[in-house]
Amino acid sequence: MQKLRDKIAIVTGGTSGIGRACAEAFAREGAVVVVAGRRKDVGEDLARQLGHGAVFVATDVARPADVEALVKTTVSRFGRIDMVVNNAGSTSMTGPIAETDPAAFDADLAVHLRAPFLAMKFASPTMAARGGGSFINMSSISGIRAGYNVFGYEVAKAALVHLTRCAALELGEKGIRVNAISPGPTRTGIFAKAGGVAAGTADSRMAEVERAFASILPAVQALPGMIHAEDVANAAVFLASGDARFLHSHQPVVDRGTRARQPGGPRSARGGVAGWPFPRDRGSQGGSSLGTCRMGPLSSLRTRLV
């Protein structure tokens, strides 16, 4: 039996990684999926593959007008919104703190914090009018434990968990459930880019990234093995379904025990683990600044991909 049969679902950042896996999983469970993203050709192709009425809506979640238009377009076409997966993300250009352009910090907040707020702002009235709905905000292990990414991304993801709690208090009175998922290191292009891989080759080098990450797993996870996007998507399906009807203001962590183990080793002056430099790919566009910040396991990963 399909758990999301004929539900209307928006998935932001739906053209790749966890977002794409969520879109595919929701469609398999019977949902009509509205794929939101910036890559028109990829998004339209995915919508055709998903079938069952799926559509693509070009959306840059950093632009409030785009988020509002996404919601209005969905309601205009389908009459309602049953669930929204706030998944869109980007690599961070923040860190070290003293060297960070404030605009880079603002960019992290715009994509990872403000965009989910805007989706809830614009979509919650139509959900409330129908007596309920579900928001699933994609946070990160980096929002729970410091040192797994650069600070701008981590701060935004931590704030998103608390935004989820605050929204749950208000929207729960209207029958709207609000939950978050905090994935650990996941086999996606954005993780590869955060590890220093050039944006243009991130997707094609994922097998290499996974092999490199395997070499540092004992220092990072209690249950070794890189998380796959489908693992996170399965958690999202559960939270969106009736099976989770009593889960509200919940933040499940999909991390293979990452929280149970803090990477060891002496810390460098900049907060990374000594001996784990990971210079960014030469000519990379859109990679993070972890090469200078040298934060935790991602920094270690960089040395193995150069």
Residue 206 within a domain: no
Taking each helix axis from N to C end, the angle separating 40-50 and 17-28, rounded to the nearest 10 degrees, works out to 20
Which residue, 14, 305, 306, 271, is CA-closest to 149? 271
Task: Check: CB of residue 281 under 8 Å from CB of residue 197.
Answer: yes
- Name the H helices within the chain: 17-28, 40-50, 64-78, 102-109, 115-130, 151-171, 189-194, 206-214, 229-240, 290-293, 296-305
Token couple for 15: 């053209």
Residue 215 within a domain: no
Active site residues: 153
Which residue, 270, 187, 257, 268, is CA-closest to 219? 257
Residue 244 within a domain: yes
Residue 280 within a domain: no
Domain housing 171: 8-187+226-262
Residue 298 within a domain: no
* CATH code: domain of residue 166: 3.40.50.720
Residue 29 CB neighbour total at 10 angstroms = 17
Token couple for 185: 């290191």
Q: Give me the tens of pLDDT residue by residue for the chain, a chain 306 residues long.
A: 899 999 999 999 999 999 999 999 999 999 999 999 999 999 999 999 999 999 999 999 999 999 999 999 999 999 999 999 999 998 888 989 999 999 999 999 999 999 999 999 999 999 999 999 999 999 998 899 887 778 999 999 999 999 999 999 999 999 999 999 999 887 776 676 666 667 667 667 777 777 777 666 666 666 777 789 999 999 999 999 999 999 999 999 998 777 776 554 333 333 333 332 233 333 333 333 333 344 455 555 554 554
